Amino acid sequence: MKNGRTEDFGARMDDPQKLRELAAWYREFAEKTGNPSIWESRLRMAEDLEQEADLLERRQQPVAAK
């Protein structure tokens, strides 16, 4: 991961909702692991995906007229 963006993983995701669904998937599977390193990695990935979704949503919001 070069800069923490999902496009660095080889797939560009422009849908914040899909990113949030993927983050939820990572969280669900983090809970099922018995390995603390894997648990932490999956939670970190979920957080990264949610941050990317937030960024995309901010970019997609129309600019307010002055």
Sequence-distant (6+) residues with CB within 8 A of 30 are 38, 39, 42, 43, 46
Is 46 a domain residue? yes
DSSP 3-state assignment of 2? coil
In a domain, 41, yes or no: yes
CA dihedral 12, 14, 16, 20 (to 10 degrees): -20
Q: Is the pLDDT of residue 40 over 60?
A: yes
Structural domain harbouring 41: 14-60
Burial class (CB in 10 A: 0-12, 13-18, 19+), 27: middle
Q: What total number of domains does the chain contain? A: 1
| Average predicted confidence (pLDDT) for the chain | 82
Which residue has tokens 């390193």?
A: 37
Establish if 9 belongs to a structural domain: no
Q: Is residue 38 part of a domain?
A: yes
pLDDT for the residue 63: 64
The one-letter amino acid at 16? P
pLDDT band with cut points at 50, 70 and 90 for residue 24: very high
